[in-house]
Amino acid sequence: MRKKTVVVTGGAGFIGSHLCDRLISKGFKVICLDNFITGTPDNISQLSKNKDFIFIRHNVTTFIKIKGNVDYVLHFASLASPRDYLQYPIQTLKSGSLGTHNALGLAKEKKAVFLLASTSEIYGDPLVHPQTETYWGHVNCVGVRGCYDESKRFAEALTMAYHRIHKIDTRIVRIFNTYGPRMRLQDGRVVPNFIYQSLKGLPITVYGRGEQTRSFCYIDDLVEGLLRLLARGVNSPVNLGNPREFTILQLAKLLIEMTSAKSRIVFKPLPEDDPKQRQPDIGLAKKILKWQPKVCLAEGLTKTIAWFRENI
């Protein structure tokens, strides 16, 4: 019996590489595409000798050609850190637009199931809390974060157009803050930033008064949700994230305690359009996917800190 083949764009990134691991462990053949703009060969080195894993260095903003059967196309190629998309706004827009178009074209050609990795950022600085999939968002399309927010909003619209017009079986996952091993040491997102600063004894930079909230989902929980979504046949967007909400200041203090750091907290001005609240309503995922996070923040941070200690 032929093994089912999955193409993962951005497969050498943080989430993509964990997804490749799980797919291989479940008996799939995986074709990983990445151009290493933010991904790294180290993230997939453990799969390099696996006969069911193929890596192709490729920029998804150009045409994607894959020989043979493809059963699933999972589009995770994106610059997801504020530090990255502020530095590379045009590349961010192109991966969300041209990249999504090319990935959907591959799914159409192969008659494959398509999954789009979207983001909680499509909700912008939300006026509804917690955020449900029916909320349309509050986004500054011409602000500095608009390159990421709008690229994902466009990607969702394009995905649904291909679903309606070309009858492609599609999935859209709106991913909330996720953390874990393999995040870049100075990624620019809050968890790796705080861990790196704590372990180095550097001042921990909190923006504003640290009262803005985030919810933090451990990578293993997210990947489980992604695989369930892929299998369940839900075409409309689904939130995946941990609904437990923490302030940024609470996170900073917790990491100082967990790392026994000598770091002090310093406060800096809030970045432009920084969301004040971020918390997923995961009622839909609970109902349809029978999914909810299992790893508490302290447990997930313990594993993540251990990985950072080894790689810093």
Which are the catalytic amino acids? 148
**Please, which residues bridge with residue 280 across strands?**
131
User: Which residue bears the tokens 């923006």?
Assistant: 207
Distance separating alpha carbons of residues 119 and 242, to the nearest angstrom: 13
Q: Residues of 206-236 as b/e, b for ≥16 C-beta within 10 angstroms?
A: beeebebbbbbbbbbbbbbbbbbbbeeebee
Dihedral angle of Cα 223, 283, 118, 18, to the nearest 10 degrees: -10
Identify the sign of the CA torsion 12, 17, 23, 24: positive
Sign, Cα dihedral of 212, 217, 223, 225: negative
